[in-house]
Amino acid sequence: MPYPFQITSLDQYHQDHKKSVDDPEGFWGNIADNFLWKQKWQKVLNWNFKEPKIEWFRGGKLNITENCIDRHLAEMGEKPAIIWEPNNPEERTRIVTYNRLHKRVCQFAQVLRNNGVKKGDRVCIYMGMIPELAYAVLGCARVGAIHSVIFGGFSAQSIADRLEDAQAEYIVTCDGAYRGGKDIPLKSVIDDALVGNKKVKRVIVYTRTRTPVSMIKGRDVWWEDEMEHAEAQVEKQGVVSFPAEEMDAEDPLFILYTSGSTGKPKGVVHSSAGYMVWTTYTFVNVFQYKPGEIHFCTADIGWITGHSYIVYGPLSAGATSLMFEGIPTWPDAGRFWDIVAKHKVNILYTAPTAIRSLMGFGDEPLKDKDLSSLRILGTVGEPINEEAWHWYDEKIGHKNCPIVDTWWQTETGGTLISNLAGVTPAIPSWASLPMPGIQPVLVDENGHEVTEKDEHGHLKGNLCIKAPWPGILRTTYGDHERCRKNYFATYENLYFTGDGALKDDKGNYRITGRVDDVLNVSGHRIGTAEVENAINMHAGVVESAVVGYHHDIKGQGIYAYVIFQGRHINDEMTRMDILQTVSRIIGPIAKPDKIQFVTGLPKTRSGKIMRRILRKIAEGELDSLGDVSTLLDPAVVDEIKNNRL
Ligand code: WT7
């Protein structure tokens, strides 16, 4: 058996889950023994959810990059770590072996050091999906700097807010990025984000699109120059080395910003050791990875899925991770299938929104595509509807590939609830069983465990977790109280996920979606308050309310009700102005799908917006609005109903 902690049968799953609950320290201590430590831990787990304080492997010293790279070199140095597929299929594929990855990461770590980066410094990374992005991430980890990767779809304003929140002093970016038919001018967005910023000392710029950029003297340097210079420093007589910083198990590894129910995104902080153990363990078990296989996770490294299942999990397991620069529908809707055939992909991990979108193109893009290398399929990011699940199973898996439906969150670091491919049963649209170490509980509004079953024999409630697992977030950057309030204060002594779920009598979970004011649009998390703030920035907007509604492809669409009293030529132009404002403030991903102009919003006498009513109207459930008599102005509901888009 290649991985000593690999679960290979349903029985073993049950035994391991039980062990992990009965004796978490013994269980995780054994698993952690399979990693490379500079010094062994003294205590496996120390925690309380009150503060919260969570420490895994306290006293242990390590560097995650030695686990992701160095320890594989002796046996697998010439095996591919990363296979890179460019946006343009005519461009050459790049294969990065573990040796090459080692060299590049050492070189980039040296570049960071040459530019003054020290352990604990925050480095913001804003790049397209190219191998250099992985080098940048791992280079930070090598010197002990905390990376904060920002997805390329965020605006200058969003970057500025994140730079400020993290007090970042360094940026790594590209001149531009290719995504489908578009070139995105990343450096120019960074320049906008840096107007007025006094904290950032250095911007390192990699050339990808060779688009004109303004390089500011004393601040901006070229990646290529810096790497060339560093090469001689890290390579002596053909031997490459850069000493990996000794990190405490609990030292922060990275910050990743994510939306919540308040206006401002929070910087989720993950630790070094616990995160490493969790991503590796879940990667190997959920996908039942076998050495030599090619794993293709289609996410962007700007999101947690890319951090955990393109970079850290697979590399720590010594896997081959395929990284794709482009999008599924360019140059045509057969692109994923071409990539699967070209690189003989074994594991394909993607989002339901991508599946639904590709399903919409029919069978034509699948014609003559050789998908026979596929062994395992996975989904992540949002609930998958049964129709999409069956399409994935039949058309892509040819009913031969187990599908794993992995439920997790930015905050959880890796998968918490999922079937294990081919080992535990798959049930369409059910995430199914908790991973070892995970103790879910469904509670009602008051935090009491639900006991009453519905007509299908299911329990239904708000999904919480009773005890920490190694990959749980440790804090929200710069504001621990915010972390406590957001996740640990709703229900005493529980981690609250923000999701609702059902549970059947075999212990399987089905995630029904968010129960807070967070939307999930195409698998991207967006807070309604955040979108409202952005809309309200537009000069003519008096007030707005944003809700989600069912969208066939995106899962959820964004529906905005807007009171507008500004200069107005016609609705369409004002809508475009509002969309432009949202793009500027957050980014194109947060643009509402529908904007309805209203003269008032349904509010209670205490001034609270009744979102329940707005949600129902957006969904078209006009006959089940419920009691509106407690509203300040019930007449406004009729107006909104009549003008519904
Ligand atoms: C939210 C977390 C996990 C990485 C990508 C998204 C929803 C995630 C599933 C799934 C149903 C899912 C939840 C969760 N979600 N996976 N398999 N089934 N819902 O990470 O941006 O932190 O969003 O995505 O609502 O809370 P994220």
The neighbour count for residue 167, using CB atoms within 10 Å, is 12
Half-sphere exposure of 76 (CA within 13 A, CB side): 23
Closest protein CA for atom 20 of ligand 1 = 409
Q: Tell me, what DSSP letter sits at residue 307?
A: I
Residues 6+ apart with CB under 8 A from 416: 407, 408, 409, 434, 435, 438, 440, 465, 469
**What is the separation of C-alpha 500 from the centre of its chain, rounded to a whole number of angstroms?**
19
Beta carbons of 417 and 435 less than 8 angstroms apart: yes
Q: How many CB atoms lie within 10 A of CB 310?
A: 28
Using the mean position of ligand 1's atoms as its centre, give its distance from the Cα of residue 117 in Å: 33
| pLDDT in the model for residue 264 | 87
Atom 24 of ligand 1, nearest CA residue: 381
Q: Which residues pair with 119 in a beta bridge?
A: none
**Strand 53-58 with 170-174, pairing:** unpaired
Give 465-495 pLDDT, tens digit per residue: 999 999 999 999 999 999 999 999 999 999 9
Using an 8 Å Cβ cutoff, are 107 and 118 in contact? Answer: no
* Ligand 1 atom showing the smallest separation from residue 259 Cα: 21
Contacts of 644 (CB under 8 A, 6+ apart): 596, 617, 618, 620, 622
> What was the pLDDT predicted at 623?
87
Q: What is the whole-number distance in angstroms between the Cα of residue 381 and the centre of ligand 1?
A: 4
Please check whether residue 186 is in contact with residue 176, taking contact to mean a CB–CB distance below 8 angstroms: yes
The residue to mutate among 255, 270, 298, 408, having the most atoms of ligand 1 within 8 angstroms of its beta carbon, is 408
pTM of the shown model: 0.97
What pLDDT, on the 0 to 100 scale, is given for residue 632? 83
> Which residue matches tokens 């998968």?
415
Atom 17 of ligand 1, nearest CA residue: 407
Give the distance between the most distant pair of CA atoms in the chain. 82
> How far, in Å, is the centroid of ligand 1 from the Cα of 503?
17
Please, what is the average pLDDT of the chain?
96
**Bridge partners of residue 551, in order along the sequence:** 555
**CA geometry: angle at 487 spanning 482 and 489, to 5°?**
85
> Closest ligand 1 atom, CA of 497?
26
> In this structure, are residues 524 and 589 in contact, taking their beta carbons and an 8 Å threshold?
yes
DSSP-derived secondary structure for 49-106: TTTTEEEEEET-EE-HHIIIIIHHHHHHTTSEEEEEE-SSTTSPPEEEEHHHHHHHHH
Q: In Å, what is the CA distance from 90 to each residue of 86, 87, 127, 216, 294?
A: 8, 9, 21, 34, 21
Name the DSSP letter for residue 430: B
639/617 Cα distance (integer angstroms): 11
Mean pLDDT, 10 residues at a time, the chain of 645 residues: 91 98 98 98 98 98 98 98 98 98 98 98 98 99 98 96 98 98 96 97 98 97 98 96 98 96 91 98 98 98 98 98 98 98 98 96 97 98 95 98 98 98 97 98 97 96 98 98 97 97 98 93 92 96 96 96 91 96 95 97 90 94 85 89 94
Q: Which residues are paired to 557 by β-bridges?
A: 549
Q: How far apart are CA 632 and CA 634, in angstroms?
A: 6
Report the atom number in ligand 1 closest to the C-alpha of 384: 18
Alpha-carbon distance 329 to 359, whole Å?
11
- Ligand 1 centre to CA of 167 (Å) is 28
31 within 8 A of 277, measured Cβ to Cβ: yes
Mutate to test the pocket of ligand 1, among 151, 476, 490, 520 (most ligand atoms within 8 A of CB): 520
Please give the pLDDT value at position 261.
83
370: nearest Cα among 405, 345, 399: 345
CB 122 within 8 A of CB 169: yes
Report DSSP state, residue 486: I
Cα-based distances in Å from 278 to 41, 100, 438, 517: 16, 26, 11, 28
Query: DSSP state, 363?
Result: S
Question: How far apart are alpha carbons 522 and 513 in whole angstroms?
Answer: 13
Instruction: Tell me, rounded to whole angstroms, the distance of Cα 123 from its chain centroid.
Output: 18
DSSP code of 331?
S
CA 498 to ligand 1: nearest atom? 26
Residue nearest to atom 10 of ligand 1 (CA): 407
Supply φ then ψ for residue 56, to 5 degrees: -115, 135
pLDDT number for residue 263: 78
DSSP helix/strand/coil, 624 = helix
- Cα separation, 122 vs 243, in Å, equals 20
> In degrees, to the nearest 5, what angle opens at C-alpha 14 toward C-alphas 8 and 16?
75
Instruction: Please give the distance, rounded to the nearest whole angstrom, from the Cα atom of residue 296 to the centre of ligand 1.
Output: 19
How many angstroms separate the Cα of 287 from the Cα of each of 93, 317, 376, 420? 25, 12, 7, 7
Do the domains 66-245 and 518-642 sit in the same CATH topology, yes or no? Answer: no
State in Å: Cα 499 to ligand 1 middle: 9
**Which one, of 396, 323, 271, lies nearest residue 136 by Cα?**
323
Q: Which CATH superfamily is domain 518-642 in?
A: ANL, C-terminal domain (3.30.300.30)
Atom of ligand 1 nearest to the CA of 417: 17
Is residue 559 within 8 Å of residue 594, measured between CB atoms?
yes
For the CA of 308, the closest atom of ligand 1 is: 4
Residue among 409, 473, 472, 477 nearest 124 (CA):
477
CB 400 within 8 A of CB 421: no
Contact 141, 149 (CB under 8 A): no
Assigned fold of 66-245: Rossmann fold (3.40.50)
Please report the pLDDT score of residue 627 as a whole number: 81
* C-alpha–C-alpha distance, residues 320 and 310, integer Å: 9
Identify the pLDDT of residue 624.
85
Instruction: Write down the domain spans for the chain.
Output: 66-245, 518-642
**Alpha-carbon distance values, 103 to 108, 125, 129, 321, 496 (Å):** 9, 20, 19, 18, 42
In ligand 1, the atom with minimum distance to the C-alpha of 513 is 25
Residue 191 in tokens: 């320049």
What gap in Å lies between CA 542 and CA 268, rounded to an integer?
32
Give the binding-site residues of ligand 1, using a 6 Å CB cut-off: 258, 304-305, 380-383, 405-410, 431, 497-499, 511, 513-514, 520, 525
Residue with CA nearest ligand 1 atom 27: 409
